[in-house]
Amino acid sequence: MGYSDKDIEEGELPFTVSDQSDILDIVSLLINGLQLIVIAVGAISLVVGSIGIMNIMLVTVTERTKEIGTLKALGFTQNNILYLFLTESVFISLIGGIIGVMVGILMAYSATSYMNIDISIPFYAVVGGFVISVLIGIISGSYPAKRAAEMDPVEALRRE
């Protein structure tokens, strides 16, 4: 039709071309957007859950003040105690993570079979679930564990 390439770039054509890959692009853009929103909203409950872990670890540390004093008196270093409480918090979080991944897969399976869609569980989603739960355990356990590690053994033992 005698249009120069410059005109094509500027879209000055009496026709538009749209092929299937354009449509697929738009669809996958929409789906990616939706997936992002869904994951973000889902992640909020993880934040709430990690606050819960931190809270209960703080309670545990307070409850075991006397025990921490005894451990320190017996020669446990600050690092040992830090490690002890971090392990505990990672343990709680990882157990939650394993059960969470299983429940999630089960739910996704029943939802997709209900909607007649083939299920696709990416490997990284499962591994990601475990890794994230370990990270949450470490992050939310670090403050309570630090509090436990820095306790003065004399003060801790004196407390009733």
Answer for which of 41, 74, 115, 117 binds another protein (CB under 8 A) is 41
44 counts as binding another protein under rule CB under 8 A: yes
When the beta carbons of 84 and 147 are compared against another protein, the nearer one is 147
Residues in region 85-104 near another protein by CB under 8 A: none
Q: Candidates 17, 48, 115, 117: give the one binding another protein (CB under 8 A).
A: 48
Identity of the residue, 14 or 75, whose beta carbon is nearer to another protein in the bound complex: 14
Closer to another protein by Cβ: residue 51 or 119: 51
38 makes contact with another protein (CB under 8 A): yes
Q: Which of 9, 11, 19, 122 binds another protein (CB under 8 A)?
A: 11
Query: Residue 150 and residue 160: Cα distance in Å, rounded?
Result: 18
Specify the residue, 41 or 123, whose C-beta has the smaller distance to another protein.
41
Mapping DSSP onto H, E and C, the string for the chain reads CCCCHHHHHCCCCCCCCCCHHHHHHHHHHHHHHHHHHHHHHHHHHHHHHHHHHHHHHHHHHHHCHHHHHHHHHCCCCHHHHHHHHHHHHHHHHHHHHHHHHHHHHHHHHHHHHHCCCCCCCCHHHHHHHHHHHHHHHHHHHHHHHHHHHCCCHHHHHHCC
Decide: is 117 part of the binding site for another protein (CB under 8 A).
no
Burial level of 138, CB count in 10 A (0-12/13-18/19+)? middle
| Contact set for another protein, span 50-69 (CB under 8 A) | 51-52, 54-56, 58-59
- Binding interface with another protein (CB under 8 A): 11-15, 37-38, 41-42, 44-45, 47-49, 51-52, 54-56, 58-59
